[in-house]
Amino acid sequence: MRKLLVVGGWFVLAFAAACGGGGGGGGDSPPPATVGQLAVTVAGLPSGVAANVTVTGPTTTQTVTASATLTSLAPGNYTVAAGNLSAAGVVYAPSVASQNVSVAAGATGSATVTYAAARIALQAVATGLSSPLLATAPTGDSRLFIVERPGRIRIVKNGTLLSTPFLDVSSRVGTTGEGGLLSVAFDPAYATNGFFYVDFTDLSGNIAVERFQVSANPDVADPSPLRILSIAHPVNTNHYGGLVAFGPDGFLYVGVGDGGGAGDVPRNAQNLNVLLGKLLRLDVRNASLVQPYAIPTDNPFATSNTQRREIWAYGLRNPWRYAFDAPSGQLYIGDVGQDRREEIDVVPAATGGINFGWNIVEGTLCYPNDPCNKAGTTLPVLDYPHDSTGGCSISGGFVYRGNAIAGLKGRYVYSDFCSGFLRSILVVNGAATEAIDWNITSVGQILSFGLDAAGELYMLGANGTVYRLIVG
């Protein structure tokens, strides 16, 4: 059954900010013959709300917060870039994020930035699922594949949740603590080779990565596995990590938690001799029983005899969800915190060997107390507290590159298991900007996100529902 939960709606405000030449020499007066002017009109914002507009030209970059005429400009091409903003709980998005204007000597160019309130609604595309932990699809595939924690992968096809699982490994999956079937990654060449990879905890609580292949029926997989990787995870039943994903480089990444408990007492995350508390990078293109994976030659410890060659990055506590954003070449990691901070790390995807700091730091704070030596660690671009404004356990999402929601383009979305919010940031030059809360409060605990082949986003609720993000 499909349900539509309308959280809000796009609407254009009936009023517009005052227009016209508010600055400099005035829009109606011709500028001197050697320079030009640019009249920027901001529309669609309530009175008193500052626009988020940046004008960049040959020799200047200026911030515009309200309608204004910029004077004494060198002739040439100017970019008028408009970003999202939020005011009084409402998100405003520009109709066009960037426009180019030519400014000629002795003349006044013009640009109009029109804002409208942007709202996101959630549309249920599958209900009655058992702890949906990931939604994904092979490249170019219109189906949506949903991982259920007890050990099944389900398919939504043409709007219908198929009753027969694509894969059912529940008899081999342990679900104690945070265990379960935690993710699936389709091979970049799935259309031709039919391979996909899953990450799960076995009946002993150890971490397993296995490869499967689709059967002659495209909606059902062959149940015989090829074991790629096993990682002992004794004692504790939390912090498995659990996401497998292919990078833009074609290698398989495996997020692995620190071994669990609290505080990483064995200091696994900083120990380069163990795979716990790491992001691993494997070449599985020629996977076989004899050699399940190879080490990419540019892994940071690829030639080491003392450190694990699988390691791509370290100092992670529980990288439950991470995401590659190919257009920007960035890797986003939502690393779950201990008792104080939840964090988002954003780094160039092609840079290996980064130490994300756990358990020296938790987010931006020393762990467990000041002081600490943060040298050599990469701190998050954003962290948030364990309190009423924050949450308790970040559920990392994806950078939105779809088409349905203009106000979300290029932004990284995330949630929190306890708070259930939907928030986004725009990362510019390594810094989090335009932090926005999209005011979604009604769906309870959020386990994870999904991304389909068209780049559209999904929120996965502990209530067993997969919600597609649509314009409200």
Binding site for Ca ion (CB under 5 A): 356-357
Q: Is 153 helix (H, G, I), strand (E, B) or coil?
A: strand
Closest CA to 78 of 109, 50, 33, 52: 109
Whole-Å CA distances, 265 to 238, 259, 260: 14, 9, 9
CB of 313 to Ca ion, least distance (A): 10
468 Cβ contact list (under 8 Å, min separation 6)? 122, 123, 124, 125, 456, 457, 458
CB of 357 to Ca ion, least distance (A): 4
- Give the strand pairing for 36-43 and 108-118: parallel
CB of 372 to Ca ion, least distance (A): 12
User: Would you tell me how many other CB atoms lie within 10 Å of the CB of residue 17?
Assistant: 20
Q: How far apart are CA 343 and CA 337, in angstroms?
A: 7
CB of 385 to Ca ion, least distance (A): 15
Whole-Å CA distances, 13 to 9, 46, 49: 12, 8, 13
Instruction: Return the number of the residue (312 or 356) whose C-beta is nearest Ca ion.
Output: 356
Q: How far apart are CA 412 and CA 436, in angstroms?
A: 10
Instruction: Return the number of the residue (215 or 378) whose C-beta is nearest Ca ion.
Output: 378
Instruction: Return the number of the residue (356 or 384) whose C-beta is nearest Ca ion.
Output: 356
Q: And the tokens for 388?
A: 């009423």
CB of 419 to Ca ion, least distance (A): 20
Is the sign of the CA dihedral 68, 73, 76, 78 positive or negative? negative
Q: How far apart are CA 138 and CA 189, in angstroms?
A: 9
Instruction: Return the number of the residue (336 or 408) whose C-beta is nearest Ca ion.
Output: 336
CB of 316 to Ca ion, least distance (A): 7
Instruction: Return the number of the residue (73 or 394) whose C-beta is nearest Ca ion.
Output: 394
Instruction: Return the number of the residue (161 or 372) whose C-beta is nearest Ca ion.
Output: 372
Q: How far apart are CA 132 and CA 162, in angstroms?
A: 15
Instruction: Return the number of the residue (210 or 362) whose C-beta is nearest Ca ion.
Output: 362
CB of 238 to Ca ion, least distance (A): 17
Closest CA to 312 of 284, 282, 287: 282
